[in-house]
Amino acid sequence: MKSYASVFRGNFSKMLWAMKLFVVLSVGVGIETRQCHAQSDPGPANIGFHAEPSRIRDSNFYKAIQLEQTLDPMSKLLWQAAKVKGVVALPGSFEDFLEVGPGDPPPFHFRIEFEFKTDKQMEAVKEQLNSMTDDVEEKNDGVTYYYPRGAEGMYLATTKDRRFVLSTDGFPLESGKFPKMTDVAEQLLKETAKSPAGVAIDIRSAAKLIASGVEFGQENFPPQAKAYLDLPEQMNSIRADLTLVPQTEAKAVIDCRDEEAAKFVLETIDGLVAMGKTFAAGNGPDIEIQKKLLAGIKTKAEGKQVLVTMLVPLDVFAKLREQAEEVTVMNDVKQVALSMHNYYEVNRRFPFHAGPDESDDISWRVRVLPYLDQNNLFQQFDLTQPWDSEANRKFSEVVVATYGDSNQTGLQWVQSDVRDFRDITDGTSNTIAFVHNAPGVVWTENKPFTHDDAVKMFKALKPGETMVIGMYDGSVTRIDNKMKLETFEAMLTPDGGEAIER
């Protein structure tokens, strides 16, 4: 499935990450206007979900995680949506997953729709989509299609009735129609209608998929995993919803085949929770989060139904947000490190110095844009002119998500004479190329950041504070003030000959 993750690089990946807080997202297949690699009729969807982003945004839950600070422009717009609804139609066999290769469409179908209240919101969404995709197709019925690079069998669309659609081609966009769910999924989803978010899964309708998955598992899974293969076959359906007031609580109702199956499901869930508590021993931030989440899980059986609730303290959300931010930062810096290497492969030099006929007063961050999936933006720059020239000044207001959530960035190359790998005699894994936490500058500006600036920044670190550094070998790491100053200074020089102990 890695080929489908690549569809949502940059802004798209962050957009989907934000929606994971209240929506189950999946990807699917088929096609009408493009090549089809799967069944033409996905059939009724097995999974349905809905959410009210605007309602969630007004909750203490949303305020606790401070999500607004981490969102890229597209994700912020999607959180303004009045409603979100979606469906997933699973395939008939587990083999459909196994047969997916690089570049193939995903093996199941899906549709997600975001509904907006105002034309202004919709225009903002269209503006973002135009900047994020190359292939745009307008239809006479007021629908505009957007096809991201590498998204075979998928499309994005906007409609005249203020909907943004993310879908596979197996669910073609037809005016006033939404993909049909199974009767069970539709009824279960109606029961969550009053909640700010809900999901319904018709497990029985995916019996063939489950059976083929169990068969595959019996042949390929380790013994400890095989013990759980019978679990899905004991269930008919799952209904889950989210409660935000007076506290954040997720609830799930699992309908089982009979009371004996419900007893088996309950015992299995309780066993997994107990196992989790056993592993969540010791101390540390991650362990504390696990302990709190596990302590908030309550289960009981009523007839052939199993009820599961999870109470989530607000401080857990805050900690999860911090961890998500850290992962995002590390991933972004890693992408920049890779762009540095990709630029070198093409140009046989690093991007930190201007090339022939290029202005010294435009940032290296502009030169690596094509390697960050921002070639459309790159093509609009005049590299022969400074960043604040009449030709380039307007682009300084554009937000490139990899560099931060505004037009300011703390990603700075540490100035040196390094132009190619032969200049780094101390070793690429021992030499710092750039830092992430520097004082903010306009991302298009070539504002110098010297060896002394980096040392000053390191000396200012307080206990518990860290700085993210990218090395010339492409690796990324966090350091704190426990590192010796002389070690940090040695890592700033490409050819100092120091013996570095890290």
Mean pLDDT per 10-residue section of the chain, whose length is 502 residues: 32 37 30 37 91 84 66 84 95 87 80 95 91 80 82 86 91 82 96 95 95 91 87 95 85 96 95 87 72 89 96 76 79 93 94 92 95 92 95 92 89 92 92 92 94 94 90 92 91 83 66
- Listed in sequence order, the residues at least 6 apart from 86 whose beta carbon sits closer than 8 Å to its beta carbon are 23, 24, 25, 48, 49, 50, 110, 111, 112, 113
d(Cα 374, Cα 371) in Å, to the nearest integer? 7
Q: Which residues contact 204 (CB under 8 A, 6 or more apart)?
A: 184, 236, 237
Name the amino acid, one letter, at 479: I
Distance (Å, whole) CA 287 – CA 295: 12
Q: Show the tokens assigned to 8.
A: 């949502």
Radius of gyration of the chain (CA): 26
Name the strands in the sheet holding 432-435, side by side, starting at the edge strand that comes first in the sequence.
Answer: 412-413, 432-435, 466-471, 476-480
- Phi, psi (rounded to 5 degrees) for 379: -65, -20
Which residues fall within 8 angstroms of residue 112, CB to CB, at 6 or more apart? 23, 25, 84, 85, 86, 165, 166, 167
* pLDDT score at 435: 94
Rounded to whole angstroms, how far apart are CA atoms 135 and 48? 29
Tell me the DSSP string of 218-256. Answer: HHHS-HHHHTTTTTGGGEEEEEEEEE-SSS-EEEEEEEE
* Both tokens assigned to 251: 């609830």
Count of Cβ atoms closer than 10 Å to residue 82 Cβ: 15
Helix (H), strand (E) at residue 298: strand 297-302
Domain spans, the chain: 1-202, 203-312, 319-492
pLDDT at 315: 76
pLDDT at site 401: 86
Residue 231's identity, in one-letter code, is L
Q: What is the pLDDT of residues 398-408, one digit of tens each?
A: 999 899 888 99
* Residue 184 near residue 205 (C-beta atoms within 8 A): yes
The 3-state DSSP composition of the chain as helix, strand, coil percent (nearest 5) reads 40, 20, 40
**What b/e string do you get for 54-73 counting C-beta neighbours within 10 Å, with b at 16 or more?**
ebbbeeebbebbebeebbbb
- pLDDT computed for residue 176 by the predictor: 64
